Amino acid sequence: MDQTAQLVTRAGSHATVLSLDVTDAEAFASVSGALPHLDVCINTVGVIETAALGDMDDDAFSKILDVNVRGLWLSMKNEIRIMRKSGGGTIINIGSNVGSRLTRPGMGAYAASKAAVSSLTKTAALEELPNGIRINCICPGPVDTRLSYRPGEDRITRDTRLSSSNPSRRAAAPAEIAGAAVWLASADAAYIVGQEIVMDGGASI
């Protein structure tokens, strides 16, 4: 976050970094009260724990749903309320190709949470379009971040796995996902409403 703030500052704008628990409704309320205007919001909310559904711990399952679903809902809820007052805006949720397009053994809870993100996106998009708020979802496959590594993997092992399991034979660069978000937030995408933009190198087909 600090690196992002530095980039924004170097570009001649102003950045403020705030840390909060996305499952804390009171924290969201205090932050949203200090933001009279929002144009674009990107909700990147997600934790993952892998286990077969029959073996998963209750607390682990609850945590995934609490962060990935309730946390994203709280984000949207507060963003929508600000945007309604300020004349509209654009919200981009980050989902996953897991859940919306495919499933993996051991990832049932995560898949359920990300399928819920897609559903929340579509419902909110219909509800808020009359208020000038356009909402969409980007559903990435593996991206070159720490979440693309399985337990015990190093970069070589991760890349070898993807070279045989992904049609594009690699993870996406973070800049590729960011580029799609910038486009979705722009006037060029003004007719894109309630859609899942799947970016997984062809894995889901």
Show which residues are catalytic: 110
Place of tokens 């924004």: 8
Distance (Å, whole) CA 30 – CA 86: 18
Torsions phi, psi for 93 (to 5 deg): -95, 145
- Cβ neighbours of residue 148 under 8 Å, at least 6 residues apart? 142, 158, 162, 171
**CB-based contact 56:27 (threshold 8 Å):** no
Token code pair at residue 80: 């929508």
The β-bridge partners of 43 are 93
Token code pair at residue 147: 């979440």
Distance (Å, whole) CA 52 – CA 120: 25
